[in-house]
Amino acid sequence: ELLKKYKYDELMIEITRKCNLQCEHCLRGDSQNITMSKDVIDRIFEDAADCKQILLTGGEPLLALDEIEYFVDRILKSDWTTSNLAMTVNGTIRDKRLIDIANKFCKSKVICSLYKRQRKRKLSLKGGTKLCRIKRS
């Protein structure tokens, strides 16, 4: 019997539980040495027919760049109509591979949240073509 594949407007996927910080305000709890396997990523594409928007979270997603790149490659090879791929990161990891991955997708957005002395600032980078420069006060 064939299982029905569902189309989603939005999926939030925790790609890793690893994190390089221990923020008091974190709602995810303590970090764990767990990252989504490529087999699990493949299963998402087997079980879902489409998804318009995807949010990759963690832990710190940038600690799983290989898996993120694999996920983006799977989106591009699929029939999915994904128009928005977003990641929520803590802004402490700078890796040029992220720009390469974002340029593959050409529609990515990176949001960095900086926490210092109980203040929150957000910096948004759209298009995936420039590195995020963060000025601390």
Cα–Cα dist 30/19, whole Å = 9
Cα–Cα distances in angstroms (integers) from residue 50 to residues 54, 71, 84, 92, 105, in the given order: 11, 14, 13, 32, 16
Chain centroid, CA 95 distance in Å: 14
Q: Among all chains, which residue has been given the structure tokens 């999926």?
A: 11
The confidence band for 90, taking pLDDT boundaries of 50, 70 and 90, is confident
Tokens describing residue 48 = 């879902």
Q: What pLDDT, in 10s, does the model give residues 41-72? A: 999 999 999 999 999 999 999 999 999 999 99
Give the pLDDT score at 126.
43
The pTM assigned to this predicted structure is: 0.76
